[in-house]
Structure 1
């Protein structure tokens, strides 16, 4: 198997909305055997590098098969060019993916091999078995398992934001330090909603001997597979990784911010080691979604705005809800100069999310926190600490 992917450090946002300051990698592969198969393509942004790598991997041969496991354009942008360049290639994909080729690219391949769960394809020594992975995270997705070397070509599963920086293979220590936050933010914002579907795929994976994960983004996993599987087990069941607190605030003039920062300080003073503070006025909501998956407790602090909720906080809660954040304890700080309407809006929004439990009384600010309110904030901090036990 040959990797033919590329890094993109120029694109500032992914899918038109997620900041990717560390870039992103697009992975694709070629299996060279008696028969040759191309495993997926890449985004248009890295097409020149992809084609250079593909030509080198083919080394003058023409591919016999072309596997399309996922039709999303960041992986399918070169489908039409491959079929045009190699008109005799057999396109191997789910029936839904074959339909999508026409929808996206006006393409009806001449030679197709529609595949479903359990179908196989022999390349020589390598035999691929296809695994349906519906809604991880699109409906047409198929994984491919190579029984010869135990590789699972797993599409967007086990992927990550972040360019590879020349490090194709995941090393647990380096990954934990350098890539875990990007992997968590990728999963929680791209796949997070589909935990039940991920659980089905993990169950299937448990029944086969896998020695390597080859995703379409991020590093290839050829050791410490239990490490990333454990992360996916937490994320897909919405169980927190860490007993800790993320404090997210939106503040117009600094008063709500001051209360949020003081609460974070009190939590640290009371022995809570894992505290994250996010300014939603400056930080994209995807970072809060990721921390909401990571930590057991949320603190949301926001002022009233137009007799409702400050828009950045509203968007952040909507994003958490859309990614099915659940099973969390939450606490609230609400500010209002004449009416703290933000409390009701936040409570109403959180009540629509599954298994969310409020900890402590809502801390109400009238424009700015007063010295005599310090005891009330202490009480909220104590309640949060107790909930972490």
Structure 2
């Protein structure tokens, strides 16, 4: 399966329908490992997939191009669900360069023990011309690994955001406007809470930096879940809210009772919350 994101830009990732646990939390909807292929004077691949999905991954690329024609691979994030297939890819494709952050190079060497690979290190603000297109890089350290970075396809206004703005959401539909919106935001919020919540202060700073740098994009393409094309600002605004850790007026009343007297107390508390117009949940 491949999907056209924009002219010359394709999703060539894989869907993991059966994943039920990831990073210590339940993934009831599975996930995807997203990879993007860009066709220009230089053919560029962004990230790979889990190693066990390499056969599907390479076949997806073959639907678009002979993988051996790929000139560059950008590794935005070294975690194994995005770089696990890299050794097999390098063996078959032999690209000219592996583009990564300084920490990306360090971690790739530690993971794969391959100092001989053709690394090219980039930092925030660096740009790379691949023909008609320019890639601009932004380091996003600790969002959520030290090596993490974004890649912006400047002319196409496509932000490839690695784990940020993602969801563990397995679906053959690839775009935000093709799926149930309530489920999409539930999965995006769950993903943020489990992956990025500890780094909320850094998320706030990152969004400020994106705005300060004047990065323009109308598509956000994360490494998990669906691509935000209809309203990418929706997830940006959600991240602003979640990273600010704004409190809402909500309460949970948990009680146990033998002869209903404690139940009466709990109901009394609930009436007080109702008077103050506080949303609550009563649980026996």
The reply to whether TM is greater than 0.5 is: yes
Aligned length in residues: 268
User: Would you say 1:180 and 2:185 are equivalent positions?
Assistant: yes
In 1, Cα distance between equivalents of 2:52 and 2:27: 14
User: Would you say 1:299 and 2:188 are equivalent positions?
Assistant: no
Shift of 1:184: 1.2
In 2, Cα distance between equivalents of 1:114 and 1:216: 21
Greater relative contact order, per chain length (Cα 8 Å cut-off, separation 6+)? 2
Deviations 1:162-184 (A, max 9, x none): 102x2111118x44233221221
Shift of 1:382: 2.9
- 20, 27, 40: which one aligns with 1:33: 40
- 201, 218, 222: which one aligns with 2:225: 218
Shift of 1:49: 1.3
Deviations 1:2-25 (A, max 9, x none): 11011111222223x322222111
Gaps of at least 5 residues in structure 2 are 1-8, 280-284
User: Would you say 1:14 and 2:22 are equivalent positions?
Assistant: yes
For residue 114 of structure 1, what is the aligned residue in structure 2? 121
Match of 1:229, SS state, is helix
- Change in 2 beyond 3 A, CA 1:234/1:109: farther
For residue 388 of structure 1, what is the aligned residue in structure 2? 278
The question of whether the paired residues in 2 share the 8 Å contact of 1:160 and 1:219 is answered with: yes
Q: Report runs of 4+ in structure 1 exceeding 6 Å deviation.
A: none
For residue 216 of structure 2, what is the aligned residue in structure 1? 209
For residue 279 of structure 1, what is the aligned residue in structure 2? none
Match of 1:130, SS state, is strand
| TM, length-normalised to structure 1 | 0.65
Deviations 1:205-242 (A, max 9, x none): 322211110100011111212221221112111125xx
User: Would you say 1:198 and 2:203 are equivalent positions?
Assistant: yes
- 219, 227, 234: which one aligns with 2:241: 234
- Change in 2 beyond 3 A, CA 1:68/1:137: same
In 2, Cα distance between equivalents of 1:227 and 1:71: 27
Across the aligned residues of Structure 1 and Structure 2, the Cα RMSD in angstroms comes to: 2.0
